[in-house]
Amino acid sequence: MTLTGPTTAPLDARRPSFWYGLPVGYMSLDLNPSAEQLTELINQLREVPEQARRETDRALRLYAGIINLLNSNNVQECALGLHPDEGGGLTVSVFTVSTVATPGNAKLVVAGLAGSAASNCDEGVRPLVLPCGLGYLSEKQVAAPRSTRRPDLNQTLPSRIWQSIVAVPAPGSSELIVLQMVTPDLHTADDYRNILLGIARTLTFTDPERTATDGTDAKDSEALTGAAATMRNDFG
């Protein structure tokens, strides 16, 4: 696995530099796909085994149902996850990365939310101490979004979804880096929470290429440090 950064940020928009790792089973999607790209994506999904066709079609429809919401927010990455379940089928999820502006110091905002979460654990929010700094985790079940462009798809979408976010302040900025995981398979929430936390532990504000030029050999498992070591521990 390699560390990756945001891929869809507008060229004229200022963004903090950050990198993170995606585990096996995730395919990065274009938030503004052309007709040709959509056709290619559909063809790729059709290549999965026949018994899994229903789940992959469901995943594509989930993507179509939430794309409007993603485009209305400052989302820089969207990845579709397909993973085998205990019944021989597939579970689906959508992972996104976005930046959110805060009215002041992002670190103070996170510290305040984390402190409040520590005293109100029943609200589904808890503080996190990550390799890249202090953050917080929030999770809940909500009504599934509905498509306004394709109302005919709404009958095929799930009624409720599980969503969880990890928010971390960007250094020297008023912005939060927000990692979000969403799945309609409510019974797999624990598994996807663990995946989200694993990704969050790989989040780094240090350019991996710069680390490599400083003499770090990522191929030597005994020499792995920082984000690279964290990624090895979380994803193997």
Average pLDDT, the chain: 76
pLDDT digits 0-9 by tens, 107-136: 887 877 766 655 555 557 888 899 999 898
Give the mean model confidence (pLDDT) for residues 28-43.
75
> Is the torsion defined by CA of 127, 129, 134, 137 positive or negative?
negative
For 204, how many CA atoms within 13 A lie in the half-sphere containing its CB?
Answer: 21
Map out the domains of the chain with their CATH numbers.
Answer: 3-8+16-235 (3.40.1000.10)
Give the mean model confidence (pLDDT) for residues 37-57.
73
Task: Return the SS3 of 2.
Answer: coil
Contact 45, 51 (CB under 8 A): no
3-class SS letters over 144-190: CCCCCCCHHHHHHCCCEEEEEEEEEECCCCCEEEEEEEEECCHHHHH
Sequence-distant (≥ 6) Cβ neighbours of residue 171 within 8 angstroms:
16, 133, 205
Residue 197: predicted pLDDT: 96
